[in-house]
Amino acid sequence: MVTDKIRKYVLPNIPYLFIGWFCGAIVGMLTGIAIGFNKTFSYWVQPLVRVLGPIPSTAWIPIVLIAFPSAVSASAFLIALAVWFPTTVLTSSGIAAIPNAYFEVSSTLGAGSFYRIAKVGIPAAMPHMFLGLFNGTCSSFITLVTAEMLGAKYGIGRDMHIGDTIIGIKGRVGFEAAAPMLIIAAHKMLEKHTLTKWQTYWKDQVATWYGMFLHEAQYLEPVMRDIEAMLLSSQRNVTGTVELILRP
């Protein structure tokens, strides 16, 4: 029983947890090294890091759900963001804390810029870098748990569709599309306030045929352009603002 639950609920989260952590760690270390060794880069990027970094990664969930095409890529980005900030800050702080004598001695011995960065600066800043990675790992797990709790709380976007296929048998498809379903629900509410009764009726009739043609790979059929022209015409006066309230 426990093994089945682990396989069902825990294992699917591991890939994008690892991908997000790895990307956040790499980008965080590179950003911290650039801030620590390049004054121009530090001048322009460090204020941005200080302003955006303290914002909790979970606060970006609404924007990320719209900006990313799937829940997997959105989750990976949020985890990467949670790892990136502490890694960047502590890496740059570790480089700033290195005594200048280390660099002066290496320069005296003929070391170039790349050698001073790779053989002097980065090894000396390693304790701070690993501390940043440790803090980022903790934040990434918190982000992952928060995202999963939000999805489980509202149960939006996950559904099972059963319909007829083009070869005449029933087909079943499981999907997850929270953001599109919210947008569609909001748009339908706008249409209720802006379209006439007959516009709504014929739009729904035509949309059904459009979906069937599209499902049967008839996108290049000329009638599809005619249907699209009607659908676009029906949206001329559809505008406004919709507020969505999510409840468990």
Q: Tell me, letter by letter, the H, E, C secondary structure of 109-159.
A: CCCCHHHHHHHHHHHHHHHHHHHHHHHHHHHHHHHHHHHHHHHHHHCCCEE
pTM: 0.55
The Cα 199–Cα 77 span in angstroms is 41
pLDDT for res 1? 46
Question: In the chain, what percentage of residues exceed pLDDT 70?
Answer: 81
Mean pLDDT in residue range 32-49: 88
Q: Which pLDDT band holds residue 202 (cuts at 50, 70, 90)?
A: very high
pLDDT for res 157? 62
Q: Output the average pLDDT for the chain.
A: 79
Nearest in space to 179 (alpha carbons), one of 70, 75, 57 = 70
Q: What is the amino acid identity at position 128?
A: H
pLDDT for res 149? 58
pLDDT for res 16? 66
Calculated CA dihedral for residues 15, 152, 6, 73, nearest 10 degrees: -10
43-85 pLDDT, tens digit each: 888 888 888 878 877 777 777 767 776 666 777 788 888 888 8
Q: Which pLDDT band holds residue 177 (cuts at 50, 70, 90)?
A: low
Q: Return the minimum-mean-pLDDT range out of 38-42, 112-116, 158-162.
A: 158-162
- pLDDT greater at residue 233 or residue 173: 233
Q: What is the DSSP string of 160-218?
A: EEEEE-TTSSEEEEEEE-HHHHHHHHHHHHHHHHHS-HHHHHHHHHHHHHHHHHHHTT-
- pLDDT greater at residue 149 or residue 16: 16
Residue 208 predicted with pLDDT over 80: yes
pLDDT for res 118? 82
Q: Return the minimum-mean-pLDDT range out of 104-108, 111-115, 156-160, 198-202.
A: 156-160
pLDDT for res 226? 92
Q: Are 164 and 173 in contact (CB under 8 A)?
A: no
- pLDDT greater at residue 244 or residue 10: 244
Q: Are 82 and 143 in contact (CB under 8 A)?
A: yes
Residue 100 predicted with pLDDT over 50: yes
pLDDT for res 104? 80
